[in-house]
């Protein structure tokens, strides 16, 4: 056996990973992928195709280890018609070249699925923009390389000058070094610093003094002064400082631009919808791409599948889970002839529907026609850094002009030198490094704790937040896995047994929750058990008749609902506190009633449980922030959440996605900085509108609506720590500004006095940069440690450091 595996060369897979984690056995339905062979789909999906070969890039969320990479890159050993395959681990993608004559794309995908790597094929995958590789990073590396080249070589030439050795080489050395410096600095100035020129010009056009304006001014002044000095033979110029400055700035930028390739921060509903559905036509069933659906198509939706477009139910019992779409926590029952909205997930048996609207015009997707989705995410023109740089620029220009004016009256020959010297020395190198390095360090630290920021500036915006808006379903409460709460007469152990074995016979989500609540003992076999869809269950054990179902149904069976029963909770947790509220809710009918032998015994109410430690989180947040709860769910839990959020907090239920968006807008109009925390498509508008949108996800990498922050649900209790940390990081940035400001003050004083020598300049500039870099990185680490310790003191298990 070992020899056989060894010969085929694939046995190594098991050597690599004793438990390779490949999920086998998920048999895919025959013809599930046939839609991939359609020309229109292929045209968009394939990166390259000719008569013989094709290349496709697929997103495989299941990639997670070395063995995955190895197996996927050795696919060609499994099938001769597969050529090269390359994995991009960071993006969880594989590019496969294959012979399209012998191997259909659908078969290739089926092969991957059978190996456990089912590709994520969503409607959004066909968007052309989604499939473009990022090119910006190449440019960034090239700019950094050119700057490093210029900096290093100019430094070599300038070194003799620092040590006073240049006089030994002869009189020709100085002009040569200066001239070469000017030549080497030119590409750095033009190519590497191009983004600063562009940004400064853009800022001036928008009449905003960004930090790029003084940088551009300083660069111009340094190069101009250098050209002047070399041309007149006065010195070597300052090209060493100039290129060093640009090099450090670019390093800071590379540090800041940490991207999380496997996370998508700007997905819309198209990433949520499947790529294909099962269509029933006169000729039978076929899988078609969603983009090809037309109004009136008859679709088959099976358990766990999405309703792709607004549709009318034709056949079957629909129990649609809208929790991700509207925030309603319980699945909704619909009967034939009723309308189903797009985005709902069918639970239970298969249903047949007829579409009434195209995918792009359904109720939910109309949210994306809102203007908020058409403008790009806010450009950070009013960030903290720019706020400081505005004052800085004004002050520097003021000092430079004043110095020039002063020297004009005393000694005109020094005036120009004083003016440019101030600009050179005040060049906000250190200032420009403080923010990117601090925020970049903060972003990395948070990422290690499964809090992913879209970019480093989000830290600054997090620090400014004063209002936190929360969604309920899926954010504060965890989806599914609810606890059933019993209210009514106490049940004997035997009765609990009966109910347990009855609930076992149903796949209904409520029945599953009831089953999970009851302790299982030795179950006496049921004599008979009949499920009435949409009503409840009827079971017999011996001579006893047990009914389990909705109020209307048990009443129709002759039972009288006794509203006088005293609550006696058997479930743990919040049951005691919630029993009173649950009892009133029970009367309103969102409960499962139990009738034994015609006598009403009580009912189970089901509530979605809070995520662990959320109550403690809310108490902490309440101290520093204004809290608002916006839920798309029924007001059933209103009292409970009002209590959790505190008396004066605003709690709104039955909120449509548009209402949520409006509330955020209202708060912002009142001058509030709003952070929205949500999970579902119904929060998408609010997440986009808020100053900071936080998407809570069960598993990092799964679908989440467009947002600034992606937060692992397990880390939700740490939200207050994230906010604390951001505020401290912002303080570190300010302190960094102060340090570099101090240096500038000394430098400017020397420069304004007209005393600036090349040596002072050469020492002062790198020294200030290095100090600021060390200071901000050290301070951010220290702040992170402190936040960590505080979190550790408060909660028994210290914050876990994730690899």
Partner 1 sequence: MSVLVLLIFASLAMAATFLAAFIWAVRSGQYEDTQTPSLRVLVEEPTAPRSQFPSNKDTVIP
According to DSSP, the residues that pair with 626 across neighbouring strands are: 467
The three-class DSSP label of residue 656 is coil
- Does residue 369 belong to the site contacting partner 1 (CB under 8 A)? no
Nearest-approach distance from CB 142 to partner 1, in angstroms = 5
Residue 11: burial class (beta carbons within 10 Å; 0-12, 13-18, 19+): middle
Q: Using alpha carbons, select from 212, 150, 256, 152 the residue that is nearest to residue 429.
A: 212
Toward partner 1, which CB reaches closer, 174 or 345?
A: 174
Question: Which stretches of 297-428 are DSSP H helices?
Answer: 384-410, 412-425
DSSP tag of 543: T
Phi-psi region of 157 (alpha: psi -120 to 50; beta: other; left: phi over 0): alpha
The dihedral built from the CA positions of residue 283, 285, 289 and 291, taken in this order, carries a sign that is positive
From the list 46, 76, 179, 286, which residue makes contact with partner 1 (rule: CB under 8 A)? Answer: 76
Q: Which residue has the tokens 């009918």?
A: 589
If the CB atoms of residues 133 and 494 are measured against partner 1, the closer one turns out to be 133
**Where does 89-226 show beta strands of DSSP type E?**
93-99
Residue 55 sits in the site that holds partner 1 (CB under 8 A): yes
Counting contacts by CB under 8 A, is residue 554 touching partner 1? no
Q: Which of 279, 435, 445 is nearest to 353 (CA)?
A: 279
Query: Is residue 259 part of the contact set for partner 1 (CB under 8 A)?
Result: no
Per CB under 8 A, which region of 73-81, 123-131, 629-637, 741-749 contacts partner 1? 73-81
Q: Residue 433: which H helix or E strand, with range?
A: helix 429-448
Interatomic CA distance for residues 719 and 617, integer angstroms: 7
Is residue 83 within 8 Å of 77, Cβ to Cβ? Answer: no
Nearer to partner 1, 119 or 693 (CB): 119
Side-chain half-sphere CA neighbours of 195 within 13 A: 14
Size of the chain, expressed as the number of residues it contains: 803
Contact between 53 and partner 1 by CB under 8 A: the answer reads yes
For residue 54, what are the β-bridge partners? Answer: 49, 98
Q: Which window, 145-153, 224-232, 445-453, 567-575, contacts partner 1 (CB under 8 A)?
A: 145-153
Stretch that binds partner 1, among 140-148, 335-343, 489-497, 537-545 (CB under 8 A): 140-148
The answer to whether the CB of 160 falls within 8 A of the CB of 166 is: yes
Using CB under 8 A as the criterion, what x/- string covers residues 747-776 for binding partner 1? ------------------------------
Q: Return the range that interacts with partner 1 (CB under 8 A); candidates 63-71, 275-283, 528-536, 788-796.
A: 63-71
By CB under 8 A, residue 612 contacts partner 1: no
**Does residue 162 touch partner 1 according to CB under 8 A?**
no
Nearer to partner 1 (CB atom), residue 157 or residue 325: 157
Span near partner 1 by CB under 8 A; candidates 83-91, 423-431, 493-501, 660-668: 83-91
Residue 172 interacts with partner 1 (CB under 8 A)? Answer: yes
Residue 34 binds partner 1, judged by CB under 8 A: no
From the list 156, 507, 755, 774, which residue makes contact with partner 1 (rule: CB under 8 A)? 156
The rounded distance, in Å, linking the Cα atoms of 457 and 478 is: 30
Q: What is the CA radius of gyration of the chain?
A: 33
Residue range at the interface with partner 1 (CB under 8 A); choices 46-54, 223-231, 635-643, 676-684: 46-54
Read off the tokens for 676. 């929205």
Distance of CA 668 to the CA centre of its chain: 22
Closest separation in Å from C-beta 48 to partner 1: 5
Question: In this structure, are residues 610 and 598 in contact, taking their beta carbons and an 8 Å threshold?
Answer: no
Locate all alpha helices (DSSP H) within 575-718, ordered by sequence.
Answer: 575-588, 614-624, 638-645, 657-669, 684-689
The stretch near partner 1 (CB under 8 A) out of 62-70, 114-122, 306-314, 758-766 is: 62-70
Q: Is residue 406 a contact point for partner 1 (CB under 8 A)? A: no
Question: At closest approach, how far in Å is the CB of 528 from partner 1?
Answer: 58
Quote the least distance from Cβ 11 to partner 1, whole Å.
Answer: 9
CB–CB of 107/98 below 8 Å?
no
Contact 329, 633 (CB under 8 A): yes
Size of the site for partner 1 (CB under 8 A): 48
| Closest C-alpha among 730, 743, 798 to residue 770 | 743
Determine if 157 is a binding residue for partner 1 (CB under 8 A): yes
22, 46, 61, 81: residue in contact with partner 1 (rule CB under 8 A): 81
Q: What is the x/- site pattern for partner 1, positions 100-139, by CB under 8 A?
A: ---------------------------------x---xx-
Q: Does 260 bind partner 1 (CB under 8 A)?
A: no
Query: Which residues contact partner 1 by CB under 8 A?
Result: 7-10, 12, 16, 47-48, 53, 55, 66, 69-70, 73-74, 76-77, 80-84, 86-91, 97, 99, 133, 137-138, 141-142, 145-146, 149, 152-153, 156-157, 169-170, 172-173, 176, 180
């Amino acid at each position: 056996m070992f020899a056989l595996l060894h010969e085929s060369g694939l046995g190594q897979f098991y050597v690599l990973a004793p438990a390779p984690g490949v999920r086998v056995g998920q048999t895919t339905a025959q013809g599930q992928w046939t839609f991939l062979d359609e020309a229109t789909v292929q045209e968009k999906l394939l990166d390259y195709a000719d008569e013989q070969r094709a290349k496709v890039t697929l997103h495989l969320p299941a990639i997670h280890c070395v063995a995955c990479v190895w197996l996927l890159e050795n696919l060609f050993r499994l099938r001769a018609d597969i050529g090269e395959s390359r994995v991009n681990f960071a993006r969880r993608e594989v590019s496969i070249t294959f012979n399209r004559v012998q191997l259909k794309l659908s078969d290739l995908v089926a092969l991957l699925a059978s190996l456990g790597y089912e590709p994520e094929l969503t409607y959004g995958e066909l968007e052309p923009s989604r499939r473009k590789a990022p090119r910006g990073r190449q440019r960034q590396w090239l700019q950094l390389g050119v700057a490093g080249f210029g900096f290093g070589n100019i430094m070599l030439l300038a070194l003799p000058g620092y040590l006073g050795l240049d006089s030994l080489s002869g009189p020709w050395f100085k002009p040569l070094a200066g001239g070469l410096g000017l030549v080497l600095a030119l590409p750095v100035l033009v190519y590497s610093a191009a983004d600063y020129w562009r940004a400064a010009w853009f800022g001036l056009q928008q009449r905003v003094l960004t930090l790029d304006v003084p940088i551009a001014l300083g660069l111009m002044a340094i190069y101009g002064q250098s050209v002047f000095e070399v041309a007149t033979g006065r010195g070597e110029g300052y090209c060493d400082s100039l290129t060093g400055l640009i090099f450090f700035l670019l390093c800071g930028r590379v540090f800041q631009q940490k991207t999380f390739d496997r996370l998508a921060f700007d997905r819309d509903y198209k990433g949520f919808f499947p790529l294909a559905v099962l269509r029933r036509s006169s000729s039978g069933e076929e899988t078609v791409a969603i983009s090809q659906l037309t109004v009136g198509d008859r679709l088959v939706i099976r358990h766990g599948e999405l309703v792709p477009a607004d549709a009318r139910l034709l056949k079957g019992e629909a129990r649609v889970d809208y929790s991700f779409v509207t925030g309603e926590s319980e699945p909704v029952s619909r009967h034939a002839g009723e309308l189903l909205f797009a985005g709902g997930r069918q639970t239970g048996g298969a249903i047949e529907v007829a579409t009434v609207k195209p995918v792009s015009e359904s109720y939910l997707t109309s949210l994306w026609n809102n203007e908020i989705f058409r403008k790009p995410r806010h450009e950070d023109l009013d960030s903290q850094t720019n706020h400081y740089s505005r004052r800085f620029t004004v002050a520097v220009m003021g000092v430079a002009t004043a110095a020039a004016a002063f020297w004009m009256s005393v000694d005109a020959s020094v005036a120009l030198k004083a003016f440019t010297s101030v600009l050179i020395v005040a060049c906000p190198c250190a200032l420009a490094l403080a923010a990117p390095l601090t925020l970049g360090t903060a972003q990395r630290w948070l990422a290690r704790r499964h809090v992913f920021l879209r970019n480093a500036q989000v830290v600054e915006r997090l620090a400014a937040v004063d209002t936190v808006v929360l969604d309920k379903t899926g954010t504060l409460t965890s989806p599914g896995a609810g606890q059933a709460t019993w209210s009514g007469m106490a049940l004997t152990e035997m009765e609990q047994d009966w109910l347990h074995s009855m609930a076992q016979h149903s796949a209904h989500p409520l029945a599953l929750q009831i089953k999970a609540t009851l302790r299982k003992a030795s179950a006496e076999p049921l004599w008979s058990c009949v499920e009435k869809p949409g009503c409840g269950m009827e079971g017999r054990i011996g001579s006893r008749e047990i009914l389990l179902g909705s109020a209307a149904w048990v009443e129709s069976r002759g039972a009288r609902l006794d509203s006088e029963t005293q609550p006696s909770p058997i479930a743990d947790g919040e049951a005691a506190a919630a029993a009173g509220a649950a009892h009133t809710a029970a009367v309103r009918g969102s409960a499962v009633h139990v009738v034994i032998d015609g006598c009403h015994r009580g009912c189970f109410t089901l509530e979605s449980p809070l995520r662990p430690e959320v109550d403690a989180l809310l108490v902490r947040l309440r101290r520093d922030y204004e809290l608002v709860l916006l839920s798309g769910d029924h007001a059933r839990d209103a009292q409970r959440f009002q209590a959790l959020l505190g008396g004066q907090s605003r709690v709104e239920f039955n909120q449509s996605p548009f209402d949520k968006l409006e509330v955020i807008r209202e708060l912002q109009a009142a001058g509030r900085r709003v952070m929205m925390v949500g999970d579902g498509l119904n929060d998408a508008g609010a997440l986009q509108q808020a100053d900071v949108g936080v998407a809570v996800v069960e598993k990092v990498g799964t679908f989440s609506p467009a947002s600034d922050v992606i937060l692992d649900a397990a880390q939700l209790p740490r939200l207050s720590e994230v906010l604390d940390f951001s505020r401290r990081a912002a303080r570190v940035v300010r302190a960094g500004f102060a340090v570099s400001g101090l240096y500038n003050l000394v430098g400017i004083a020397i420069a304004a006095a007209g005393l600036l020598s090349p040596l002072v300049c050469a020492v002062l500039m790198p020294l200030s940069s290095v100090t600021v870099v060390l200071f901000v990185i050290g301070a951010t680490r220290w702040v992170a440690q402190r936040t960590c310790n505080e979190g550790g003191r408060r909660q028994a298990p210290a914050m876990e450091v994730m690899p």
